[in-house]
Amino acid sequence: MYNFSKLEQESNKIIEWYSGEIAKLRTGRASPQIVEDVKVDYYGQISALKTIASISVQDAKTLLIKPWDKNAIPSIEKAVIQSNIGINPVADKDHIRLILPELTGERREILVKNIKEKLEEARVSLRKIRSDVWEDIQEREKAREISEDDKFRLKNDLQKKIDDFQKRLEDSADRKIEEIRA
């Protein structure tokens, strides 16, 4: 009847994007995703940190960055400071250590607000996809490719799929908020 595969692909991309965005938020536990996309000026070329260094978790509160080129340490240190992630780097001769400070109540609330803003961006994208698919269904009904009954049945199917994707987004947000507030 109607192929919702494009809707599912686009919706899955939105969920992937959202998951990646909230994974970057610092929760008090060390995770390479916090800094892997920090932009570093490396010999005049802007590169993501993950492309010029290995990032590992040393313990629950410490990340260890080992650049493949030791000369990149000052550039990495500067980039981490400028990224405003709230972590001060400690440089040694061949690596940089990032020790995550305890989250304050104020910082936790800022993170929760960021999660909710990203969630709203994802919801807006889902609504746009829903609107596009609904327009396509209506055009097919006008072109007499589907009946009016089919149009309304498809509208219900469409809404169920969108509701499922929104639930997945909200569950992901709730887990992250719980992790931050813990």
Question: Under a CB-based contact definition with an 8 Å cutoff, are residues 34 and 26 in contact?
Answer: yes
pTM: 0.70
| Residue 39: strand pairing partners | 48
Domain holding 95: CATH number? 3.30.1360.40
Sign of CA dihedral 110, 115, 117, 118: positive
Shared domain check, 75 and 61: yes
What is the domain count for the chain? 2
Q: Are residue 108 and residue 88 in the same domain, yes or no?
A: no
CB distance 22 to 115 below 8 Å: yes
- Summarised one tens digit per residue, pLDDT across range 149-177 is 999 999 999 999 999 999 999 999 999 88
Q: Are residues 176 and 122 part of one domain?
A: yes
Domain that holds residue 48: 29-99
Residue 138 has pLDDT above 70, yes or no: yes
pLDDT per position as a tens digit, 52-106: 999 998 887 888 999 998 888 989 988 888 887 777 888 888 999 988 877 788 8
